Amino acid sequence: MSQSKAESGKSAPFPGIPTTADGSETVVWVETKITQSACAYPITSSSKMGEGYNLAVSNGTKNLWDDTIIFLEPESEHSAATACEGFALAGGRTTTFTSGQGLVLMKEVLYTISGKGLPIVFHIGARALTSQSLNVHAGHDDVMAVADCGWGMVFGMNGQASGDLAAIVRRAAEDCGRPFMNVQDGFLTTHTVESTLLAEPELLKDFVGSPSERLTSLFDPHNPIMTGTVQNQDSYMKGKIAQRAYYDDMMPALKSAMEEWGRLTGREYSVVEPYRMDDAEYALVGMGSMMETAMASADYLREQGKKVGVVHVSAFRPFPGPEIVEALKNVKAFAVIERMDNPIAQSNPLTAEIKSSFADALTGHAGYPTIDTIPVIYSGSAGLGSRDVRPGDFVATCAHMWNNGEPRYFVLGIKHDLALDPPFDPDIRPTGSFSMRGHSVGGFGSVTTNKVIASFLGELGWSVQAYPKYGSEKKGLPTTYFLSVATEPIRTHCEMNHVEFVPLNDVNAFQYGNPLGGLQEDGMLFIQSDKTDPAEVWSAIPYESQEIIRKRNIRVFALNTVKIAREVAPTADLEMRMQGIVLAGIFLRVSPIVEAANATKEDLFVRIEDALRKWFGKRGEAVVQANVQAVSRGYEEVFEIPAAIITPPQEAEVA
């Protein structure tokens, strides 16, 4: 579901609870209310889901039927899956959270869970596998490696969808007696904070239903059932083929759950989600977060007179072949873009299944639309290991199609013989957006500050999106984080190359790159500096950057956040992290977004304290108040470099 559809929920019986959350948190919100247990082993990028569930257990949380939930962490992901199997066999409702190699390690158990008809839901932070090098970021290698295990498999484009689909597939799984995976892109969705509507507890209780009423114990000695047997030539095949009757119920169960969820919440989902496809001549097809960027890119191309649409395949299992053919049959060409590459297969997985679906339709297979021709089918790999996928990449893909380009397989985002080079990279943010790209050092607390600011602005009613450029080696090394704020949902799941504010917590940022890249005319720059004289701060900026600042009329601010953090931190170990928190006060002071809210300073700090308490309340009141003080001092003490220093009068006259 695109975020824009969430607006339709306002008149529904359960419109949702407005908040800011990432994809991990929306899943935890649902699962801690409807399950009885989670059995998980930590692995990036799914660990945050397990940590959130475990925290709820530590706090004595009970589910909606007054069961105290439990958390089990065994010695591996394989054992976690086995523990889930045992819990479900005993009639319990359980879940796990995993990624990458952890999911592949579970594969043996995935077959037995589906073979026994256990309606479990697993949550996946989809991650690249170690097929080239170790990478902990987004890729669909892991889920495609287990696509043959008999599990339903759905993909959300954003955190909103991840939370909603958690409830939807739980309902579908228990309706059809088959397990499901709820997949979201690792880091790009699991750790991206967005404006979100959480499902009301009353909705979840009625929609999912009590586990005691919905599930059956296969280990009940009073009602014994034979399961997990050994069978020979006389029996095995008969039982295996007989399972088809149960799998025939999977698609109707999923569609029914999606339809009912849409009626109750106004947030509509379907197994295939077409966008602007009614008159489309070309289409972009794929799964996961980059397809929401594709939708915003299609809007841009429509404004240029190009009839482009998007098809998000939200259900990979059961595969919606007829629905995909129906959505794409009238276009001239379409490109299937996937977060993986299997060079020795006929095509990458989604492309291969779509080609097969069109072959079935063309040859008159029952249940498929009647077609006379097949559109030209292109296939591309993009976003492997969270490689940035930009609007310009989608522009290049569409240009390749309407120019009848060759080859039919291409790659995006890298330099390669098969790569499509973007002709330009349009700004597809909502009108009036304000974006920030920060340059800091891992461990400075800037990433958390970014989330605090997003939470605060969300409370003021803005649509927000905040995410960091994570790395497994980032502590102590350069890191980048992004924040966008707008009056409507933000659909750009990519690094921000068009920004209005650039804070430099890392004083070395000028030395290893161009932190001013993409900073717009009349934008703002903040520099961490131990200098108090504006002239000294200015003189420390490299000459080339000074020229850019003058040319773009950029305002420059400065403050010694390190000194403030040292003075307000209640313990020495918090000093480094709290220098990032000071930035929240600086943002409040310089951002036009806050000014547009027409809030008093007192009201702002009441709200910012609420946001800080959300993130740091578990550390105690002293830590919360120290963070409030850090924000307050950032707000009061930040200073601006006067224009007369940036452009001396004599230079201004020459200009």
Task: Reply yes or no on whether the pLDDT at 82 is more than 60.
Answer: yes
* Cβ–Cβ < 8 Å for 275, 310: yes
Task: Please report the pLDDT score of residue 601 as a whole number.
Answer: 80
Sort strands 463-469 and 499-504 into parallel, antiparallel or unpaired: unpaired
Q: How far apart are CA 151 and CA 16, in angstroms?
A: 29
Q: How far apart are CA 635 and CA 631, in angstroms?
A: 6
CA 457 and chain centroid, separation:
19
Comparing 607 with 484, the larger pLDDT belongs to: 484
Q: Read off the pLDDT band of 632 (50, 70, 90).
A: very high
Which uninterrupted H or E stretch holds 483?
strand 478-486
Task: Reply yes or no on whether the pLDDT at 513 is more than 90.
Answer: no
Task: Please report the pLDDT score of residue 218 as a whole number.
Answer: 93
* Over residues 417-423, mean pLDDT: 97
Q: Read off the pLDDT band of 471 (50, 70, 90).
A: low
**Side by side, which strands form the sheet with 376-381?**
272-275, 308-313, 282-286, 333-338, 376-381, 409-411
* Cβ–Cβ < 8 Å for 460, 501: no
300 and 406 both lie in a single domain: yes
Q: What angle do CA 233, 236, 241 make, to 5 degrees?
A: 130
- Provide DSSP, 165-211: HHHHHHHHHHHHT--EEEEEETTTTTT-EEEEEEPPHHHHHHHH--H
**Token representation of residue 175:** 């309706």
Task: Please report the pLDDT score of residue 652 as a whole number.
Answer: 54
Q: Is 27 inside a domain boundary?
A: yes
Helix, strand, coil tally for the chain in percent (to 5): 45, 20, 40
Q: What's the pLDDT tens digit per position in 267-286? A: 999 999 999 999 999 999 99
358 and 234 both lie in a single domain: no
Name the percent of the chain lying above pLDDT 90.
Answer: 84
Task: Please report the pLDDT score of residue 228 as a whole number.
Answer: 86
Q: How far apart are CA 341 and CA 347, in angstroms?
A: 9
Task: Reply yes or no on whether the pLDDT at 6 is more than 70.
Answer: no
Q: Is 636 inside a domain boundary?
A: yes
Out of 361-370, 488-497, 641-650, pick the least confident: 641-650
Q: Read off the pLDDT band of 508 (50, 70, 90).
A: confident
Comparing 535 with 612, the larger pLDDT belongs to: 535
* Cβ–Cβ < 8 Å for 110, 180: no
* Cβ–Cβ < 8 Å for 378, 385: no
Q: Read off the pLDDT band of 31 (50, 70, 90).
A: very high
493 and 588 both lie in a single domain: yes
Task: Please report the pLDDT score of residue 54 as a whole number.
Answer: 98
Task: Please report the pLDDT score of residue 325 as a whole number.
Answer: 98
Task: Please report the pLDDT score of residue 443 as a whole number.
Answer: 76
Query: Own/partner pairs for 255-260, CB < 8 Å, 24+ apart?
Result: 256/172, 256/175, 257/168, 257/169, 257/171, 257/172, 257/175, 258/168, 260/171, 260/207
- Reported residue count of the chain is 655
Q: How many CB atoms lie within 10 A of CB 432?
A: 11
Q: How far apart are CA 213 and CA 211, in angstroms?
A: 5
405 and 542 both lie in a single domain: no
Out of 7-16, 191-200, 608-617, pick the least confident: 7-16
Q: Is 242 inside a domain boundary?
A: yes
490 and 373 both lie in a single domain: no
42 and 144 both lie in a single domain: yes
Query: Number of structural domains, the chain?
Result: 3
Q: Is 619 inside a domain boundary?
A: yes
* Over residues 207-228, mean pLDDT: 93
Q: Is 526 inside a domain boundary?
A: yes
Q: How far apart are CA 545 and CA 543, in angstroms?
A: 5
Q: Is 222 inside a domain boundary?
A: no
Q: What's the pLDDT tens digit per position in 282-301? A: 999 999 999 999 999 999 99
Task: Reply yes or no on whether the pLDDT at 554 is more than 50.
Answer: yes
* Cβ–Cβ < 8 Å for 121, 169: yes
**Token representation of residue 241:** 């083929």
> What's the one-letter identity of residue 386?
S
In the predicted model, what is the mean pLDDT of the chain?
A: 94
Q: How far apart are CA 300 and CA 208, in angstroms?
A: 39
516 and 383 both lie in a single domain: no
* Residue closest to 633 by CA, chosen among 577, 592, 583: 583
Task: Please report the pLDDT score of residue 611 as a whole number.
Answer: 85
| C-alpha torsion 106→111→117→118, nearest 10 | -10
Q: Is 6 inside a domain boundary?
A: no
**Token representation of residue 486:** 């707008």
Q: Is 429 inside a domain boundary?
A: no
Buried b / exposed e over 341-359, threshold 16 CB at 10 Å, is: bbeeeebbbbbebbbebbe
* Cβ–Cβ < 8 Å for 484, 429: yes
Task: Please report the pLDDT score of residue 133 as a whole number.
Answer: 94
Task: Please report the pLDDT score of residue 4 as a whole number.
Answer: 46
Task: Please report the pLDDT score of residue 2 as a whole number.
Answer: 53
463 and 372 both lie in a single domain: no
Give the C-alpha distances (Å, rounded to integers) separating 524 from 16, 266, 286, 548: 36, 39, 37, 12
Task: Please report the pLDDT score of residue 121 as a whole number.
Answer: 98
Q: How far apart are CA 255 and CA 263, in angstroms?
A: 12
614 and 573 both lie in a single domain: yes
Q: How far apart are CA 158 and CA 372, in angstroms?
A: 36
Task: Reply yes or no on whether the pLDDT at 411 is more than 60.
Answer: yes
Q: Read off the pLDDT band of 555 (50, 70, 90).
A: very high
Q: How many CB atoms lie within 10 A of CB 532?
A: 13
Q: What's the pLDDT tens digit per position in 10-26? A: 689 999 999 999 999 99
Q: What's the pLDDT tens digit per position in 306-347? A: 999 999 999 999 999 999 999 999 999 999 999 999 999 999
Name the percent of the chain lying above pLDDT 70.
Answer: 97
438 and 529 both lie in a single domain: yes
CATH number, domain at 481? 3.40.920.10
Q: Read off the pLDDT band of 473 (50, 70, 90).
A: low
Burial of 158 (0-12, 13-18, 19+ CB in 10 A): buried
Q: Could you tell me where the beta strands, DSSP code E, fall in 8-120?
A: 17-21, 37-39, 70-72, 94-98
Domain extent for 32: 15-212+228-256
* Over residues 195-222, mean pLDDT: 96
CATH number, domain at 367? 3.40.50.920
245 and 323 both lie in a single domain: no
487 and 379 both lie in a single domain: no
The tokens 């009602």 sit on which residue? 223
CATH number, domain at 190? 3.40.50.970
DSSP SS3 for 69: coil
Task: Please report the pLDDT score of residue 654 as a whole number.
Answer: 54
Task: Please report the pLDDT score of residue 442 as a whole number.
Answer: 80
